[in-house]
Structure 1
Amino acid sequence: MNREMKEKVRKNYLRRVNLIAKSKLYGGNLMKAVNAWPVCILRYSTGILEWSNKELHVMDIKTRKVLAMFGIFHIQSSVARLYQNRKYGGRRLKNVEDCVSSEEMSLKEHVVRSEEWMIKVVANKVEVCEARADYVKHMDRERAEELARKKMHGRFFKNIAEVFDERSCQWLRAGYLAKSTEAFVCAAQEQALGTRLLKKVVLGEEVAAECRIFDKTSEPIAHLAAGCSGLA
């Protein structure tokens, strides 16, 4: 029965993620919708269904695949940043594994604090290792450190560290960019886009020196193309 119910929850969760990904919601609202509608199924199952870390990890991977399929998450973009808080430069998607773990901790805290005699009997067998609030802060700190360790993904945040404040990520906190635009800008900041500079310097590939974006049949555009060729 546990296996059948988990399969139903898993399919329903991914179905809802697909429906939201197909929508025309702005980037910020789309992430809020995923955090509210599909994730609530997993929240309700916490404490009833026994999820393994591997099962939850696979669901996170499938979620990112769906987002990538609809242009909401760049395939080479930072996974840590995807789950970070928006005021710190992340996109604030709920991590399935973290969500279930935090809900389990919340249930344990409720059992331990309860004054009902029947629940107190259960509380004697419950051990609270870490508070839910501390766990959330702990995971946010770990993801920020993971992003900072990345040479490519974390370079942008290292370069702006001295001038970074709450206004630096106002465009993310507002969440009014189109879902694909938000993904593209984040990927560009993380140097995850397949530019010709990346191919030449990092991958060591031979690339053309001229810029092909411009039409050289037009004199003004040809002039811009000549200036752009030095940036290739």
Structure 2
Amino acid sequence: MLNGIIKDLEEGYKYIGIKQSNINQKVELRHKAITEYKKRLRQVLQSQLNARNQVMAIDTFALPVIKYPVGIIKRTEEAIKGTYIAPRKLLTMHGELHPESYITRWYLNRKDGGRELKSVQHPVKEEEQSIKAYIASMATSDKLLAEFQSAALTMELFPDDEEIDGHMKPLHSAYHRQISNDSDLYQTFMWLNKGNLMTNTETLLMAAQKRVFLTKQVQTKIYHTRDDRRCRLCKDAPKTLQHIVNGCKQLAGSTYTKWHIHVAGVVYRSLCDAYGLNKPQHWWEAPGKVNENDCAKILSNLYIRTNKHVLADLPDIVVVDNENKRDTIIYIYPYPMTTI
């Protein structure tokens, strides 16, 4: 104050971390919040955290920067859209999000096959709802808040991905539709619940489940950029993701066999741990035909003699449980995927 006159606060001051002055600085503050959010998001994406911890770091370290000034800085629809798109670009640049995958799955719970990331709009919505609830509770005793409420000055929220049902998309929902009828979803997505994979590995697996890879079938039926959709190896069937994984005759005796042996080896070593049996030290070592102790006997890739001739007489693993008097026959086979 100078001679009874309050000098204009052109340079401004900070109040609870928000810069205040006579000059409208909302655009600058909004830009500063978004810049800091991107900076923290990059720091998390460049870290060596596994997939689950990386998502938790984004939710607890980066998103609060956007949440803090809610209710103080007015947000335009253009600003919301910019904040909404920015994390997608960064996630794609760092290999955390496949360019053709459906973003909604990022926001689903891990038990439902998602990655449990909170969208940029999630903390904003929570804060705005808290402010509205406070105004509604205090309007009875505060005239100013009562006038604010009666004027219906509500804050509109730009819709986010969490309000969109990703399972309604025909291509992206095919995998969920297929497994929802005859599979245990909890067991199916247990690898996501554990969250011990790196994020780029999760991204690759989820993109494969959604079948968004640019195969000849996709180029022919969806993008219409190719006329011949047949597999270049066998020339017998369309080159779909299903065909590549478990349908090509040319790969049956080489690549598929290696995959089969590796998957069976994982199951075999887990069974050895369960029954206290010796197991191969390395994943590439082939298990023995017979492995037994007083508790159990495990037969690996051994022909089973039957009274009647059967085609499936070479199971991958047979477990003879001596304590429970129970035999278990295990076949490893790929889960069939529908074509598009």
TM-score, normalised with respect to structure 1: 0.77
Closer, same or farther: CA 226–116 of 1 in aligned 2, 3 Å = closer
Q: Which of residues 160, 163, 187 in structure 2 aligns to 1:167?
A: 187
Which position in structure 1 is the counterpart of 2:232? 209
Aligned length: 209
Query: Are 1:20 and 1:34, in contact at CA under 8 Å, matched by a contact in 2?
Result: yes
CA deviation after TM superposition for structure 1 residue 110, in Å:
2.5
1:1-232 to structure 2, matched below 5 A, reads 1-114=25-138, 117=141, 121-126=144-149, 140=162, 142-143=163-164, 145=165, 147-162=166-181, 163-200=183-220, 202-203=222-223, 205=226, 206=228, 209-210=232-233, 223-224=253-254
* Contact kept in structure 1, 2:107 and 2:161, CA below 8 Å: no
Flag the 1:81–1:225 CA change in 2: closer, same or farther, 3 A. Answer: closer
Aligned-pair identity in percent equals 26
Question: How far has the Cα of 1:175 moved from its partner?
Answer: 1.5
Whether contact under 8 Å (2:171, 2:210) holds in the other structure is: yes
Partner secondary structure for residue 167 of structure 1 = helix
Please give the root-mean-square deviation of Cα atoms over the aligned residues, in Å. 3.2
Unaligned runs of 5+ in 1: 130-135, 212-220, 228-232
- Give 2:53's aligned amino acid: N
- Cα distance between partner residues in 1 of 2:135 and 2:190: 39
**Map of 2:328 onto structure 1:** none
CA–CA separation in structure 1 for the residues paired with 2:95 and 2:161: 26
Q: Counting strand residues as a fraction of each chain, which structure ranks higher?
A: 2
Structure having the higher Rg:
2
Mapped partners of 2:193, 2:146: distance in 1: 40
Structure-2 separation of matches of 1:166 and 1:15: 35
1:28, 1:176 within 8 Å by CA — same for their partners in 2? yes
Rounded Cα–Cα distance in structure 2 between residues aligned with 1:191 and 1:116: 55
The residue number in structure 2 matching 1:216 is none
Flag the 1:209–1:166 CA change in 2: closer, same or farther, 3 A: same
CA distance in 2, matches of 1:53, 1:83: 21
Matched residue type, 2:206:
C
Task: Classify the secondary structure of the residue corresponding to 2:133.
Answer: helix
SS in 1 for 2:185: coil
State the alpha-carbon separation in 1 of the partners of residues 87 and 30 from structure 2: 16
TM-aligned CA deviation for residue 203 of structure 1: 4.2
Q: Which residue of 2 aligns with 1:230?
A: none
Change (3 A) 1:110 1:128: farther
CA contact (8 A) 2:119 2:161 kept: no
Q: What secondary structure sits across from 1:45 in the alignment?
A: coil
- Contiguous gaps of at least 5 residues in structure 2: 1-24, 235-250, 258-340
